[in-house]
Amino acid sequence: MKDLKKKILQNLNDSLDKKELDLLEKAFDFAEKSHSNQQRQSGELFINHPLRVALTVSQMKLGLNAVIAGLLHDTAEDCQVPLTKIRSEFNEEVAFLVQGLTKVNQIKYKSQQEDTIAEKENFRNMILALAKDLRIIIIKLADRLDNMKTLWSLSSKKQRKKSLETLDILAPLAYRLGMTDIASQLEDLAFPYVFPEEYKLTRKILGKRREEQKEYLNNLVPLTKKKLEENNLNPKEIKFRTKHLYSVWRKLQKEEMDIKRVYDLVAMRIIMKDVEECYAALGVIHQMWKPVPGRFKDYIALPKPNGYQSLHTTVFAEDGRIVETQIRTLKMDEEAEWGIAAHWLYSSAKKTKGYKKRKSFCPPKNFYWINQLREWQKTFYQSEDFLNALKVDFFKDRIFVLTPKGDIIDLPDGATPIDFAYQIHTDIGNQAIRALVNRKLVSLDYNLQSGEIVEIIIKKGKKPSSSWLGFVKMNETKKKIQDVLKGKKLV
| Domains in the chain: ranges and CATH | 2-191 (1.10.3210.10), 203-339 (3.30.460.10), 365-485 (3.10.20.30)
Whole-number pLDDT of residue 355: 33
Least confident of 305-314, 315-324, 348-357: 348-357
77 is an active site residue? yes
Whole-number pLDDT of residue 359: 45
Average pLDDT for 271-295: 96
333: left (phi over 0), alpha (psi -120 to 50) or beta: alpha
78 is an active site residue? yes
Whole-number pLDDT of residue 356: 40
Residue 168 has pLDDT above 90, yes or no: no
Report residue 242's pLDDT band, with 50, 70 and 90 as the boundaries. Answer: confident
Residue 392 has pLDDT above 60, yes or no: yes
- pTM reported for the whole predicted model: 0.76
Cα distance between residue 25 and residue 246, in whole Å = 39
Residue 223 has pLDDT above 90, yes or no: yes
Whole-number pLDDT of residue 73: 92
Least confident of 6-15, 289-298, 378-387: 378-387
For residues 309 and 335, the answer to whether their CB atoms sit within 8 Å is yes
Average pLDDT for 147-176: 89
Q: What is the pLDDT of residues 25-45, one digit of tens each?
A: 999 999 999 998 888 888 889
Read off φ and ψ for residue 272, nearest 5 degrees. Answer: -115, 170
Report residue 352's pLDDT band, with 50, 70 and 90 as the boundaries. Answer: very low
Whole-number pLDDT of residue 273: 96
Residue type, 147: N
Residue 260 has pLDDT above 90, yes or no: no
For residues 58 and 14, the answer to whether their CB atoms sit within 8 Å is no
Average pLDDT for 347-369: 46
Q: What is the pLDDT of residues 40-65, one digit of tens each?
A: 888 889 999 999 999 999 988 788 99
Q: What is the pLDDT of residues 394-408, one digit of tens each?
A: 666 778 788 888 777
Q: Which of 3, 22, 74, 78 is catalytic?
A: 78
Least confident of 129-138, 180-189, 241-250, 468-477: 129-138
Residue 122 has pLDDT above 60, yes or no: no
Share of the chain above pLDDT 70, in %: 82
**Mean pLDDT of all residues belonging to the chain:** 84
Produce one character per residue of 49-78: b if its CB has 16 or more CB atoms within 10 Å, e if not.
bbbbbbbbbbbbbbbbbbbbbbbbbbbbee
Average pLDDT for 171-182: 85
Q: Which of 20, 32, 77, 334 is catalytic?
A: 77
> Would you tell me how many other CB atoms lie within 10 Å of the CB of residue 417?
27
DSSP 161-197: HHHHHIIIIIHHHHHHTT-HHHHHHHHHHHHHHH-HH
Q: What is the pLDDT of residues 428-480, one digit of tens each?
A: 999 999 999 999 999 999 999 887 899 999 999 999 999 999 999 999 999 99
Q: What is the pLDDT of residues 364-374, one digit of tens each?
A: 655 666 666 66
Closest alpha carbon to 195 in 221, 163, 153, 168: 163
Residue 197 has pLDDT above 80, yes or no: yes
